[in-house]
Amino acid sequence: MNLVLFDLDNTLLAGDSDFEWAQFLISKNVLDREVHEARNIEFYEHYKAGTLDIHAFLDFQLAPLSRHPREELDAWHAEFMATHIRPIIGAPARTLVQRHLDDGSLCAIVTATNSFVTGPIAREFGIPHLVATIPAQENGRFTGKPRGTPAFKDGKVERVDAWLEELGYWWGSFGETWFYSDSRNDLPLLSRASHPVAVDPDDALRDHARQHGWPILSLHG
């Protein structure tokens, strides 16, 4: 059996679900446009540059979850899937995922974006496992804080290792290991895979992939 891991934002998606979720909440006047749009863009630029303070970002991104009941959040998310997410899922991404699912690989999305936002997206792809940043809950309401290590940079490696251990596996359990990603932020996990694949990569990852002979794939045309 092989292990196949997929980054989500700008890899399987032709866009960033974290960024889009905040923009969606702004469009519904849940968040103040003047205050939040500039910060959302600022955080996204830091992410792309590899300079994101993940804890400051999570304080920003998870806070709105704590202000609303889960039923309301779930209803908003269903609308978000229809208007912001399905339109940025291309046929090549669906085909790639299905090919690995069909060959019996153990497949997971591994993403820094929190599991409330990304859980329904993983289910849309039919991917059975999700390793994501976990938004903490108490009595069914989000607290606005993360639980445990965020799945970001080296934290992705830590979280994948723990997930595999829970399943009774380790990296050596698999014939081949794959990780698809667009971002320099994922170099720690890419370097663990026997088949790292750069997908529509940022400039830093593209240069690294060329230097190390990694394949470069486009899913977004």
In eight-state DSSP terms, residue 13 is B
| 179-188 residues labelled b (16+ CB within 10 A) or e (exposed) | bbbbbbbbbe
Judge whether 103 counts as a catalytic residue. no
Active-site choice (9, 16, 18, 186): 9
Cβ-proximal residues to 158 (8 Å cutoff; 6+ apart), any chain:
149
- The angle at the Cα of 173, spanning 172 to 179, to the nearest 5 degrees, equals 75
Sheet of 129-138, strand order? 141-147, 129-138, 106-114, 3-6, 177-181, 195-199, 216-217
Residue 115 contacts residue 134 (beta carbons within 8 Å): yes
Active-site choice (7, 16, 182, 186): 7
Q: For residue 36, what are the CA distances in angstroms to 22, 27, 29, 113, 128? A: 8, 11, 11, 18, 33
Judge whether 161 counts as a catalytic residue. no
* Active-site amino acid positions: 7, 9
